[in-house]
Structure 1
Amino acid sequence: MAPVVLSPRDLAGCEHRVALDFSHDRRPGTEPDPPGVQRRKEAAADHRAAVRELLRAVHSDQPGAFVIVDPGMTSADRVAATLRACDSGASWIWNATLPTDETHGRRGHAELLVRRGDGYIPVIVVNHRVTQPAKTAPDPAGRPPTLVTSPFWTWAPSPDPYRTGRPNRRDNLRLAQLTAMLVEMGRASSADRSELRGGVIGVDADCIVVHDTGAMLDDYQQVLDHRLAIAAGRVETGPRRISECRSCPWWVKCGPELEARHDVSLVATGNQGAVLIDAGITTIDQLAAQRGAPPEGWPGAVRFGDAVIGAIAWLTGTELVRRLDSPRVHRADIEIDVDMESYGEHGAYLWGTLRTDTTDESVPVVYRPFVTWDPLPTRDEARSFAEFWGWLMAERAAAHDAGQTFAAYCYSQQAENRWLLGSADRFAGEPGIPSRAEVEAFIGSPEWVDIYEAVGENFICPHGKGLKRVAPVAGFAWRDEDASGEASMEWYRAAVALGGGRADEGQRTRLLEYNEDDVRATKVLREWISDGAAEQAPHERDLLARQPAE
């Protein structure tokens, strides 16, 4: 029997997935990755390629310093090429593949090995943010910052007072595994565990975040041992619904199993589910029958009654449950629905708006997009954002001047706020760009209304609070059956020809229609909350009256 060997991917996420991966000859189905998964892989590959070319250019005047291992070679040939580069003393080795360590059950590759002393430091390149700007100025008392970074083009770690880290356990475990493998090979930068380091280059590619990998090794070893036991079948696991299930190929097996036994994780995830299972409440039926106080350790920010009602709703097929006799949402004379479309971390290319004058039904409800079709990232994004902001503020001022109330609406303001503030920061000083203070004043005012929050205040949502989950209850339907945030990423790539070739005008139209439907869905939903929900959605007391006896 071949030895069990784990990649860093096997160390994080669902334990049951690891058990299934190693107990079956192949994963279910032969279909390609879902579009969203494929897009993320392509975006990550594009990001790594951009980082590679930046570093190659930086070191182009140093022959032999920056070595690229050909990814098209076999694994064995990549290992051999990596070891030759190490033996030759190359300063930077891109696409390094380490020899599989069957004794300890691990394999790994690093986007970079950076020479330090007689050995190497692993550096990985990821397509997510690993830092954010520090919220406070450098400490006047002289206390050192908690984050250490190195310039992008060299290895020179120093405390960084201008950034804070965004920890990622998957990144940490990957760095720890690479460090342990280098130590075992005798290729690490130091024999002293306290001096072992690793690095991460994030999506901004503006620095290398330095990690103390020596301090990670004990925790890593515990994780590795446990996961090896799972993969070998020595530790039993079972399915449980978590966020990872959305893109897991094993969901075709786990989903029906969970449905068949009414598993409680279908309605209570995360800490809620863990507490319920620890208390012996493992099925939806058991949760629906609960009375009195929540089990010990129940998350304080979540009402236990909501979980019970959610379980009853699941059993009865109820889509939405009212909390209040008369649901309420902030309304105004001039109402503007807003929806933003972004492409990963690269920028916001479209701000869609829908203007409604509630004082005069004869005024047309008009959709107006503010868009750039220059491939992101692009400075033209500043132009489209400035036009959107200027129009929105002009509508607000006109309403005020006419003695009318004004409100702008979005669905889940976290995304819109991020790009409102980010655009103000990135394009500061360009024509029409507001200051950060102006944006903060607006999004902190009562005139910026989050309908996602209004839904949570008014309803219990057993199937989730996403717009595409809730708006259909209010009677809205999207024109495109494939409409989703993930799908829109694929449409965008074609719309601006990110993969090469000619831009697809049809996909541009599709994106505009998708965005228009999102703002119209927000409008329909908020109007339904104030005008129709009281009659059409059952109250929570109605469901509790159906609560099964213990």
Structure 2
Amino acid sequence: MGSAILGARNLTGCEHRLALDFAPRDQVAGGPETAEANRRIEAAQAHRREVLELIGRLQSGRPAGTVTMVDEADHRSRVAATTAAMDAGAEWILQATLPTDVEHGRRGHAEALVRVGNGYLPIIVVNHRVTTAVAEPREGQPQVQTSPLFGWHPEPDRTRAFRSQRRDVMRLSQLAAMLDALGRLHAPRAESVGGLIGLDADCIVAVPLGEVADEYDETLVRRRAIAAGEVVTEPRRVSECRSCHWWPRCEAELIAKRDVSLVVGGNQGQVLREIGVTSIDQLAEYRGAPPADWAGAVRFTDTVVSAKSWVRDIPLVRRRDRPRVQRADVEVDVDMESFSERGAYMWGTLLTDNTDATRPVVYRPFVTWQPLPSRDEGRSFAAFWAWLMTERNAAHGAGKSFAAYCYSQHAENRWLRGSADRFADLPGIPSRRVVDTFIASAEWVDVFEAVGDNFVCPKGKGLKRIAPVAGFNWRDDEAGGEASMEWYAAAVGLDGAPRDESQRERLLQYNEDDVRATKVLREWISSDEVLSLPLADDLLAENAVGVSETDSTGIVAR
């Protein structure tokens, strides 16, 4: 086994990224971390500082020595301070750094170690939500235990469900294994537990670690072998690629060999590789029935169509002779802007009255520029909701049909519901029941779903991918989700960042372009222009692959 020392980050995610991260620098060259990755790191660090300050305040009345804050500048000093605090029996050790375990090739730090019995239990702080509120536990749902922040007192919690993420569990497992090797773990490793504090920072979730100890051990061995160059990896396109600093290098390799992962992701790509289909060209020429063990949300025939489109540089392929999307007399396009898990700071709207050509199509944003989280978010949401319902009721009163549109309702629905829940005590906030009724109605239309229903999209279904096919382009060349996060942080001076109010206009323009792109796209779907795109059935007929009959979408895989 090589001498690589792995942190918890190295235990999950893309194996090829790990190999590149540990390869000799004279053999590989990658770009800097993406702005999105740096933003997430900075946001996580700020959240951890806030939580540790909170824990410190909760312990402020305790005797001296109860809480030790490790704030030494260098690693060796932090390790020494952590070890000394454990030797002294400190009840809480904040910002703890454990001695590097050279024998097993691992290093680790915990936001907190809390003394339980004669040992210590690791606690980590993460910048995402780790529980979901539940009204009534579902049958078979694992029992969650939570503890208050002021001490380790875990009790069954029927109000929450655990939102487990593998990277959190692996990090806690690494810390538990390291404490166990030092003889400092609070319990036998098979019975050990870790603590997890999430974005809401309202409790500590107890995470059982004994049941994943074997998986952790196996993962560490394999990952160390990869880092040492003893296991060969190859690039594959996965979701992680979007924020990876190695992606330009990997993308160039994948395009050069026309790798099938460019059009097929996840387990489906593995199924294809197992039957010898490794390139886009092979998939484009595939004949016969789909692989026997094909499974997942993407139909096999769609992957063949995507491959053919990639080879021929076709941006979209029709599923139907005549694509369709719901239309109405009065149409409102909606786009929400949020910042991480902190909240939704903007609701942008664009109203079109198709029955009155004299009524201008006007962009209206409802926004707060108070740094999130902020109660002012509730005020801006209430204003947005009042305006939307006023226009809806006016349309109904005039005998006109009404529809509101968004692109990928998952995000909008999350913050519609979340805003109703979090700001229920503010004036003008709709009840959760009212919001849910609107979301379930035919008047709330997801254009993203309409795109998937009408087209095969070889290069993805994101609005930035699809709207240009319909003739729309953003005014700002840098417009995008990652960039908007940077603009927002500057616009409000988030977490001490220098405030640049000029970025507010940039965000408003970006949001306006998003709602206008949604409008242009759905109108294009209803137009005759869309009929110039090829039909999926025609492309599949060239191979006679998987087509024995057609359903409402025009394609069926056997």
Report the secondary structure of 1:531's partner residue.
Answer: coil
1:189 paired to 2:186: yes
Give matches, 1:83-162, under 5 Å. Answer: 83-136=83-136, 146-162=143-159
Q: Which residue of 1 aligns with 2:409?
A: 413
* Partner Cα distance (1:422, 1:221) in 2: 39
1:423 partner SS:
helix
Residues 462-471 or 152-161, more deviating? 152-161
Say whether 1:73 aligns with 2:73: yes
Change (3 A) 1:461 1:45: same
- 1:223 aligned to which of 219, 226, 249: 219
After TM superposition, the score normalised by the length of structure 2 is 0.94
Question: In structure 1, what is the Cα distance between the partners aligned to 2:29 and 2:412?
Answer: 37
Task: Report the count of equivalent residues.
Answer: 544
- Measured at CA, do residues 380 and 300 of structure 1 come closer, stay the same or move farther in structure 2, by a change above 3 Å? closer
State the Cα distance separating 1:500 from its structure 2 match: 3.2
Equivalent residue, structure 1, for 2:238: 242
Query: How many Å separate the matches in 1 of 2:270 and 2:233?
Result: 15
Give the partner amino acid of 1:112.
A
Whole-angstrom distance in 2 between the partners of 1:14 and 1:57 = 39
Q: Is the 8 A contact 1:28 1:249 kept in 2?
A: no
Q: Secondary structure at the match of 1:127?
A: coil
- Contact in 2 for aligned 1:288/1:548 (Cα 8 Å): no
Q: Structure 2 residue aligned with 1:462, among 458, 462, 477?
A: 458
Contact 1:138 1:161 (8 Å CA) reproduced? no
Q: Is the 2:287–2:544 contact (alpha carbons within 8 Å) kept by the matching residues of 1?
A: no
C-alpha displacement at 1:20, in angstroms? 2.1
Q: CA 1:138–1:227 in 2, change beyond 3 Å: closer, same or farther?
A: closer
| Pairs within 5 Å for 1:278-297 | 278-297=274-293
* Counterpart residue number, 1:358: 354
Deviations 1:418-477, CA, capped at 9 Å, x for gaps: 000010011113210100000010010000000000000000000000000000000000
Instruction: Give the distance between the partners of 1:454 and 1:410, measured in 2 at CA.
Output: 11
Say if 2:114 and 2:122, in contact at 8 Å, map to a contact too. Answer: yes
CA distance in 2 between counterparts of 1:27 and 1:533 reads 50
Superposed displacement of residue 8, structure 1: 1.2
Q: Which piece of structure 1 moves more, 158-167 or 28-37? A: 28-37
> Which ranges of structure 2 fall in alignment gaps of 5 or more residues?
546-558
1:31-64 residue CA offsets vs partner (Å, 9 max, x unmatched): 5432211111111011001101111111111232
Q: Does 2:396 align with 1:397?
A: no
Deviations 1:247-283 (A, max 9, x none): 2222233222211111111110012111111222111
User: What's the counterpart of residue 167 of structure 2?
Assistant: 170
- Deviation for aligned residue 1:211: 1.2
Cα gap change, 1:76/1:501 in structure 2, threshold over 3 Å: closer, same or farther? closer
Q: Is the 8 A contact 2:493 2:499 kept in 1?
A: yes
Q: CA deviation at 1:533?
A: 4.4
Q: Structure 1: state its 5+ residue gaps.
A: none
1:362-389: CA deviations, max 9, x gaps?
2110000111111111111111111100
Alignment partners' CA distance in 2, 1:385 and 1:401? 24
CA distance in 2, matches of 1:272, 1:259: 19
Asked if 1:320 is matched to 2:316, the reply is: yes
Q: Give the drift of 1:232.
A: 2.1
Structure 1 position 144, deviation (Å) = 9.1
Identity %: 60
- The one-letter code matched in structure 2 to 1:515 is N
Structure 1 residue 477 corresponds to structure 2 residue 477: no
Q: Distance in 2 between matches of 1:539 and 1:435?
A: 44
1:379-458 correspondence to structure 2 within 5 Å: 379-458=375-454
- Over residues 504-529 of structure 1, what are the superposed CA-to-partner deviations in whole Å (9 max), with x where a residue is unaligned? 22101111110000000000000000
- In structure 2, what residue type is equivalent to 1:526? R
Contact persistence 2:322–2:531 (CA under 8 A): no
User: CA 1:529/1:69 → structure 2, altered by over 3 Å: closer, same or farther?
Assistant: same
Which secondary structure does the structure 2 equivalent of 1:408 belong to? strand
SS in 1 for 2:111: strand
SS where residue 280 of structure 1 aligns?
coil
Kindly tell me: are residues 152 and 501 of structure 1, through their superposed partners in 2, closer, same or farther at Cα, counting changes over 3 Å? closer
Say if 1:30 and 1:534 are closer, same or farther in 2 by CA, change over 3 A: closer
User: Does residue 41 of structure 2 align to residue 41 of structure 1?
Assistant: yes
- Tell me, in whole angstroms, the C-alpha distance in 1 between the residues paired with 2:370 and 2:525: 38
Deviation at 1:94, TM superposition (A): 1.2
Q: Are the equivalent residues in 2 in contact too, given 1:21–1:27 (CA < 8 A)?
A: no
Structure 1 pair 115–26 and aligned structure 2 pair: CA distance change class (3 A): farther
Asked whether the 8 Å contact 1:322–1:539 carries over to 2, the reply is yes
Distance 1:540 1:3 in 2: 52
Deviation readout 1:87-137 (Å, 9 max, x if unpaired): 111111111111111111111111111111111001111111110011525
Residue in structure 2 matched with residue 206 of structure 1 by the alignment: 202
In the superposition, relative to structure 1, how do residues 499 and 129 fare at CA in structure 2: closer, same or farther (>3 Å)? closer
Amino acid at match of 1:406: F
Contact 1:100 1:106 in 2 (8 A): yes
- The code of the aligned residue for 2:349 comes to T
Between 1:324-333 and 1:524-533, the stretch displaced more is: 524-533
